[in-house]
Structure 1
Amino acid sequence: MQVTTKALTRILSPSSQKLNTDFKSSQSSEIQEFCQIQIEHLLSKFPIQWCRIIYFDPLLESHQTITHCVQDGLFCRKLLIYLNLEEWLVDFYPAFTVNEVNLSHLTSSICYICPIGYRNQKAEYILILAHEPLSPILQQDVKQSAMLLSKHLDIYAECRQQKAEIQLLEHILQRAGHQLRHPLAMISLYAENLYLGLPSGSSQEQAAIIRESIQDLDTNLTELIYCGQKERLRVALHDLRSLVIESIRGLKPLIKQKKLQISYPDSSTFLAIDSLQMKQVFDNLLSNAVHFSPVSGTINCNWQIFQDEILIWISDQGVGLSSDDIKKIFTPFYSRRPGGTGLGLTIAKKIVLDHHGNLWAQNSPLGGAQFFISLPRSTAF
């Protein structure tokens, strides 16, 4: 009995889960498309005639199957069911090695497996059927596809973990915000009454400072709670240079104390952004640069417009970042600053991501840390 490619896919694919959101669907489809590209690449190599990839999708929390065939009607249902049951998978082959599987009792084709990894109690692998033995060069090509796929899956899983941590952070911020609202409102009320009840003079001025500080806290709390939520982005055209200068102005006492020099371009560009939220990003990055800079050091802030994006980078002359820092620096609650909450860079990255950009860190070749912000060219004018 012969089967078509569509029927073959139905037989081999596990039952699909119903996705809860469009986000899940789009994220899972990206990894599926990557697997499909790898399969099409391998199928373009003679004598490979059939290919299957099994991988674990952390978003769906299940193993997924991508299968394709050079020509419909090549395999019998008995062979396909046998492959799907994985009764032949009795050996734990080393990852990224091409191994022959004996299926001579079912087909004249030669079967190869190249393991990718082992996640959630099930193997991930590339399975191939070919007309004739694969040459060493072609086997190396299969290994390369497996390594690329493994790296892609690792990045995919890491991104998923970061998104889960950010969701946890959002929940914490929402809860903390609601718990702080009431006492903050009471303090504000008493500060206002105190201000109105005091005679003019230094005491009333101090009460005014308390009142204004509470107002600032309330504003910052509101921005913190709703930071990075796309439906709350208030996007308008803003001058990038002016935004950076505004952030620098707020850090002037610390800059003066450490005798720092901050350089930035004379030219500017306009961005379609939420200025309050993007200012949080610059406030955080420049504050970190000031904190880790040596006395009399220089902080450089630059930007360059390319065809598809605008790239902004901020560098200092501090001790730089360790390998552990680079891995964890955007993780919630990770901080190298004494008394730091470890939330600033996490929030900053989320804001940039919600502007369809990216934020990353590395060490400068000249020493010190560098932070890069990229924004799509479509948001720059």
Structure 2
Amino acid sequence: MKTQVAIIGAGPSGLLLGQILAKSGIDNVILERQTGEYVLGRIRAGVLESVTVDGLTRAGVTKNLKEQGLPHDGCKLVFNGQEYRVDFKAQVGRNVTVYGQTEVTRDLMEAREEIGATTVYEAKNVALHDVDGESPYVTYEKDGETHRLDCDFIAGCDGYHGVSRPTIPADVLKTYERVYPFGWLGLLADVPPCDHELIYGKSDKGFYLCSQRSETRSRYYLQVPLTENVEDWSDERFWDELKSRMLPEDAAKVTTGPSLEKSIAPLRSFVSEPMRYKKLFLAGDAAHIVPPTGAKGLNLAASDVLYLADAFEDFYQNNSEAGIDGYSARCLARIWGAERFSWYMTKMLHTFPENDAWDNKMQEAEFNQLINSENGAKLLAENYAGLPY
């Protein structure tokens, strides 16, 4: 089999890239090691920047988003009893849209199926070959047989644990990482959200987040030590702990119910450079991870994809390698800005076990600067709604 662009990974970044390229007449094949049902079963965030919505519009998959997405013009921050609403619309003239990553993935899957583009699920033992030569190719196993996919370029959209990033020689790849000493215990339930916007809170017992997927489905998070086991958290224990961290007036509006899913996710910041090696390009979690505090993971993946789609379109339509050559630097400029914002939000709103009295006062001063400075609020709104693309 032969194609122009081989895409590794059928998550939202791989599917978005495949759909945009297909609409531009660029042939592509997606290889995914899991089943489609497994990919759809992964519960992830769903706060979309305008640039992500623009990317989905470019891919032609916004019908459901327009009908079901919830525009948010701001969010509320709570810091040890103090509350402050950041008004994105007033500060920077933009908003975000709440629409679940599962729904984004499903929309992209269905759109790809409609145009008859090739996605190979359960592609095992995927390996990338000759990425530094003129004729790269990919091998994989399917139904007990080995297959070869020849291509012009390879897009590694296969996540942090995928095969794409390790294919880049160790003496070329440089990585940066910060691992945080806690995780997020998340609970998903079919209950109405306690507020029409997200609430990011810090209490003396740790961070909490009140989020949502729709007007009838809510997602809540609690900061917990990495030593915690999700099996030890009954629904009742979770709801009690959540309400104990919240402002009383917010806690009174929490509707409890049986969980659909509970999990604990560790937090880390991670970036690998460069994001291009010869004929191989990394996008999304294959190249970077952000703590979810800034709601940047899916949005960074989408901006990577849009830059990469631009580069491939420029190559195939204009016979220009300018976009390809500038891809990594263009992505990393936006990525490091989002990494800084996610690190800032995490640092300000979480309880760090190693913090001393000085560190606690610095967190308090950070929050006070935010609420007492118009420029501080504007900077947060600009970053949350999305850095320039």
Answer with 1 or 2: which has the greater Rg: 1
More helix per residue: 1 or 2?
1
The answer to which structure has the higher strand fraction is 2
Taking structure 2 as the reference length, what is the TM-score of the superposition? 0.26
Higher relative contact order (CA 8 A, sep 6+): 2
